[in-house]
Amino acid sequence: MLLTTETAITPHGGELIDRVVPEEEIRERSMEAAELPKVPLSPRALSDLQMISTGVFSPLEGFMLRDEYEGVVEDMRLQSGLAWSLPVTVSVDEEQAGGLSEGSEVALVDGSGEPVATMVLREMYGYDKEREARIVYRTTDAAHPGVAAVYRQGDVLLGGEVELLRPPDEGRFP
């Protein structure tokens, strides 16, 4: 069967999100990104970035803002009321957060320090890791891989819209 707009499944939220920089803009945007403050991404965050940018995580357009995060943790719902079971976040430690400013643009970088995307930093916010683990995973036991991932994260979450410059290098699935 040929996949067409009439036969395709409607994306979650009704619209397929595309946050990939157009090819003709990549060079210029990459040069600009090289001058921005850098936020290193974990393998998991790199995977989430690619899924946000290519519409897999529609209707998300970036990493979750505080209200979106809280709604997902508490009620498994986005602000729009759509079901969403896990927070999609990127974190930094407090020292890194001190060098960032809300409202500015940052470069999201891979393990080699190369920009893979930019993000308009809308919010920086603290969160309770144990609370997230207890509510989302129903355990605080670090032997659970999801809980362990939360405990390894930085203490400050960053939220804002992303634009993918290039796909992250393929590697082992996080």
- Which tens digit of pLDDT belongs to each residue from 139-163? 999 999 999 999 999 999 999 999 9
In the chain, where does DSSP find H-type helix? 26-33, 43-53, 66-75, 94-98, 129-132, 145-152
How confident is the model over 25-54, as pLDDT tens digits?
999 999 999 999 999 999 999 999 999 999
55 phi/psi in degrees, rounded to 5: 90, -5
Quick check: 87 and 96 in contact, CB under 8 A?
Answer: no
Residues 97-117: what's their mean pLDDT? 96
Quick check: 168 and 49 in contact, CB under 8 A?
Answer: yes
> Does residue 172 have a pLDDT over 60?
no
Q: Which fold has domain 23-164?
A: Sulfate adenylyltransferase (3.10.400)
Give this prediction's pTM. Answer: 0.91
